[in-house]
Chains A and B, each alone.
Chain A
């Protein structure tokens, strides 16, 4: 029918009427006499009837083809509801009650009106969708022909669906099939002006049909009327014997089916109808209400929306749908995107959607449709925050799929290569992997690191104001290395639990804090107090530090050095960073620390800094933040980078990279806060209570300077110290970053080689 979208209720109704009028049993043409009788039974004024006849094209044709008949029926409904008779009203009027005929079909109409909005173009898969109201009433009117379609579709569903399904399966041919149907039905209605409007609406359908399977949906709706009707008509003969059995069976089936299925199918059917009526939509797209429903279902199995549904649970759940195991297996293959044997929320929604679609008669695609692809986190896109709730847009390339599994997390440029390679093999690497949300993860790492970083450099500085430059640098370095160490520890330990769940694609940032918290003690370094802890733990650490300002710090600092193998210290000279790499670099470090590197941007910051120092501290925080940001960033990177150097370079490199990356990507406030803290400590001014841990951590540290009292000189001295620290850190950072990059490249190449050389032995 040209763009005549009928609800299935209408569909049935009209087909029945058509059959009723089809006294010659041509199945194509209703005898005029009967039709006119029927129209008269509609109790419309005769001129209206005439108008209707004209509009539907019967006058032109001289007879009532099926489509004309349907159009006429719909127009009758329109007229009966008091709306002006126009062709546009055919499709534009929703919720139109069925045309009333005095021939005792009113009861249907009432029911159908109620069900109208929900079920449209469901055609064959009515059998699957339990429609309690309709069915009950259908049972009531058991004698009525309308029952037929419902009931037979249960058993002969394969037959019923086949005419519809087959075109669906082969979209390219379906236009043909559809057009054939159309022509049969309308016999050239297309050209008629009255249906120009309908034709216009229709063309989008046709154009869509040339597309991929997606068009199947539009086709679907188009197809469902003709084949279904025909099948209904043919089934009409067979159903009477079965009808007695069917309704009870139907009901029992309905009851058996979990209500979930019902709602899902109805919702899906609803959605499909909406989509089809809108002209051209992706049939596989999950609507919001569907998605919400799926999410609720997910919660019943797995309360944590960021967690996974294990395969066994999913199997039980989907087995309830009573689909054959083979199909469920296929659905699983399609939806388990990362092949980890568990379903994330996205995967679950996709699987659920496929199940529902399958139950409604849709054929399973060979490939996961785009709209069902799990929304992946693009690690390269630092601006993107993982967000699972909204619709499942296909957000990117396969790159995102395997960030978890990639051994080289944070090097942007290496992401695609490694990821794709990993994806191809779908091998889960027992390699330390980063949590998916790189940005968030990095921020957290950043916070922890900065917190720990702050404590150490500042504490020794604080503890010994007149310290020798060497000592300062030494402590600073060690502290930082320890810091980096701890941060890398935390990172590594972060990786450990991650590794344990390595097969999972953690698409939510929620997992990263968990991972961090769960961390076990990392292997090599002496466990730093705040290693691998969340912010709260580092808070504790800071409190410890505050309690024993000098002692633990010193000890902590002392504890760090043993774990630090010779670390290449950043060259203090501005230009070639590759120069200074040695333990003696400490000396160099110290020697150069006093030398403020002119090119460091810190100076500009420092000047402002001093200006700030004079003024009230808290108010300056915000201002200082942006200025000291670049320093912060580089410093932050330096800290973890340093750590990397000290420890297992390869393993830590990842951490370092991450941290560096994170520091680079870190939002301004964090590094700034850190800087502020150290300044505060030194200046012994009360820090504005920042939300992050670093603030608290540092706040604890400055307890000592606070005791000194606000003293401008002390403040200035602390400023100077900070400056020195800044410079040193900045240099360290730049050099370490350079080294880091080299190391990472090496690592990448090694990993690739390893992968290539790995013997064929798994699991």
Chain B
């Protein structure tokens, strides 16, 4: 039921963004962007105390009139920096809301695919994600949702 899936890099630019109804992309982009602020807010609220392993699934951010936005904030402790990559899933709230588990599983899949992409030595962090496997996984998630 995901209508839009986005992967945002630490610097808040999108590494990967895809939406199903292609015509509304801009709107989705905007929605995702606004969620980033909310995410930042939540993160800062948590504080640095549990920096190493936070709850990655931030849950439903806010149900807009049309959509619900679920972001998930992932924190990776890399060698030097903390790489904060965010996954955002926008789902259509008109549909019966997906169970929390389903959303979590979607994020898990996203995360795994993203990890695979990261493992690829030819992928430079910060590049847009062009992996076909990742694409196909995302498409599967979006198709099955809608």
A complexed with B: yes
In angstroms, how far is the closest chain B Cβ from the Cβ of A541?
41
Contact A763 B76, beta carbon cutoff 8 Å? yes
Contact A760 B132, beta carbon cutoff 8 Å? no
Interface string of A477-503 (1 = CB under 8 A from B): 000000000000000000000000000
Contacts of B16 in A (CB 8 A): none
**Interfacial residues of chain A within 740-763, with CB under 8 A of chain B in the complex:** 759-763
- CB contact between A315 and one of B53, B111, B121 (< 8 Å): that residue: B121
Given contacts A366-B132, A760-B107, contact A329 B76 (CB under 8 A): no
Binds A, one of B39-47, B61-69, B112-120: B112-120
Contact B112 A341, beta carbon cutoff 8 Å? no
Contact A333 B115, beta carbon cutoff 8 Å? no
Contacts of B132 in A (CB 8 A): 330, 333, 366
Given contacts A366-B132, A759-B57, A761-B54, contact A328 B115 (CB under 8 A): no
Contacts of A336 in B (CB 8 A): 119-120
Contact A311 B121, beta carbon cutoff 8 Å? yes
Complex CA–CA separation, A762 to B55 (angstroms): 10
Contacts of A760 in B (CB 8 A): 56-57, 72, 104, 107-108, 111
Given contacts A760-B56, A760-B57, A760-B108, contact A314 B121 (CB under 8 A): yes
- CB contact between B112 and one of A325, A340, A425, A761 (< 8 Å): that residue: A425
Contact A339 B121, beta carbon cutoff 8 Å? no
In angstroms, how far is the closest chain B Cβ from the Cβ of A371?
20
Nearest chain B residue, comparing its CB with the CB of A331: B122
Tell me, yes or no, whether B13 is within 8 Å of chain A by CB: no
Complex CA–CA separation, A426 to B111 (angstroms): 10
Tell me, yes or no, whether A300 is within 8 Å of chain B by CB: no
Tell me, yes or no, whether A234 is within 8 Å of chain B by CB: no
Given contacts A333-B131, A366-B132, contact A339 B54 (CB under 8 A): no
**Interfacial residues of chain A within 711-728, with CB under 8 A of chain B in the complex:** none
Contact A312 B55, beta carbon cutoff 8 Å? no
Given contacts A325-B122, A329-B131, contact A759 B115 (CB under 8 A): no
Contacts of B72 in A (CB 8 A): 760
Nearest chain B residue, comparing its CB with the CB of A316: B121
Given contacts A326-B130, A762-B111, contact A311 B119 (CB under 8 A): yes
Tell me, yes or no, whether A604 is within 8 Å of chain B by CB: no
In angstroms, how far is the closest chain B Cβ from the Cβ of A313?
9
Contacts of B119 in A (CB 8 A): 311, 336, 339-341
Nearest chain A residue, comparing its CB with the CB of B121: A311
Contacts of B74 in A (CB 8 A): 762-763
Contact A761 B53, beta carbon cutoff 8 Å? yes
**Interfacial residues of chain B within 29-56, with CB under 8 A of chain A in the complex:** 53-56
Contacts of B57 in A (CB 8 A): 759-760
Contacts of A763 in B (CB 8 A): 74, 76-77, 115
Nearest chain A residue, comparing its CB with the CB of B101: A756
Contact B56 A761, beta carbon cutoff 8 Å? yes
Contacts of B107 in A (CB 8 A): 760
Contacts of B131 in A (CB 8 A): 329-330, 333
Tell me, yes or no, whether A110 is within 8 Å of chain B by CB: no
In angstroms, how far is the closest chain A Cβ from the Cβ of B28?
23
Contacts of B108 in A (CB 8 A): 425, 760
Contact A311 B120, beta carbon cutoff 8 Å? yes
Nearest chain B residue, comparing its CB with the CB of A334: B133
Interface of B is mostly: mixed
Contacts of B77 in A (CB 8 A): 763
Q: Interface centre among A329, A427, A760, by most B CB within 10 Å?
A: A760
Complex CA–CA separation, A548 to B146 (angstroms): 75
Contact B115 A312, beta carbon cutoff 8 Å? no
Complex CA–CA separation, A385 to B28 (angstroms): 54
Tell me, yes or no, whether A332 is within 8 Å of chain B by CB: yes
Contact B112 A329, beta carbon cutoff 8 Å? no
Contacts of A762 in B (CB 8 A): 56, 74, 111, 115
Contacts of B54 in A (CB 8 A): 761
Contacts of A339 in B (CB 8 A): 115-116, 119
Nearest chain A residue, comparing its CB with the CB of B131: A333
Contact B121 A341, beta carbon cutoff 8 Å? yes
- CB contact between A329 and one of B53, B111, B115, B123 (< 8 Å): that residue: B123
Complex CA–CA separation, A326 to B107 (angstroms): 25
In angstroms, how far is the closest chain B Cβ from the Cβ of A70?
40
Complex CA–CA separation, A318 to B56 (angstroms): 36
Contacts of A318 in B (CB 8 A): 122
Nearest chain A residue, comparing its CB with the CB of B106: A760
Complex CA–CA separation, A754 to B107 (angstroms): 18
Complex CA–CA separation, A318 to B76 (angstroms): 28
Contact B115 A332, beta carbon cutoff 8 Å? no
Complex CA–CA separation, A366 to B135 (angstroms): 12
Contacts of A761 in B (CB 8 A): 53-56
Contact A315 B122, beta carbon cutoff 8 Å? yes
Contact A426 B112, beta carbon cutoff 8 Å? yes
In angstroms, how far is the closest chain A Cβ from the Cβ of B23?
27
In angstroms, how far is the closest chain A Cβ from the Cβ of B104?
5
Contact A332 B55, beta carbon cutoff 8 Å? no
Contact B122 A329, beta carbon cutoff 8 Å? yes
Contact B112 A332, beta carbon cutoff 8 Å? no
Nearest chain B residue, comparing its CB with the CB of A311: B121
Contacts of B76 in A (CB 8 A): 763
In angstroms, how far is the closest chain A Cβ from the Cβ of B35?
17
Contacts of B123 in A (CB 8 A): 329
Nearest chain B residue, comparing its CB with the CB of A323: B122
Interface string of A514-550 (1 = CB under 8 A from B): 0000000000000000000000000000000000000
Nearest chain A residue, comparing its CB with the CB of B123: A329
Contact A333 B120, beta carbon cutoff 8 Å? yes
In angstroms, how far is the closest chain A Cβ from the Cβ of B140?
13
Contacts of A312 in B (CB 8 A): 121
Q: Interface centre among B76, B108, B121, by most A CB within 10 Å?
A: B121
Interface residues of A (CB under 8 A from B): 311-312, 314-315, 318, 325-326, 328-330, 332-333, 336, 339-341, 366, 425-427, 759-763
Q: A314-B121, A425-B108 are in contact. List 7 more A-B contacts (CB 8 A).
A: A318-B122, A329-B120, A330-B131, A332-B121, A339-B119, A341-B121, A760-B107
The 26 listed contacts between A and B (C-beta, < 8 Å) are A311-B119, A314-B121, A315-B122, A328-B122, A329-B122, A332-B121, A332-B122, A333-B131, A333-B132, A333-B133, A339-B115, A341-B121, A366-B132, A425-B108, A425-B112, A426-B116, A427-B112, A759-B55, A759-B57, A760-B104, A760-B111, A761-B53, A762-B111, A762-B115, A763-B74, A763-B76
Closest 7 CB pairs of A and B: A311-B121, A315-B121, A329-B122, A341-B119, A760-B57, A761-B56, A760-B56
Interface residues of B (CB under 8 A from A): 53-57, 72, 74, 76-77, 104, 107-108, 111-112, 115-116, 119-123, 130-133
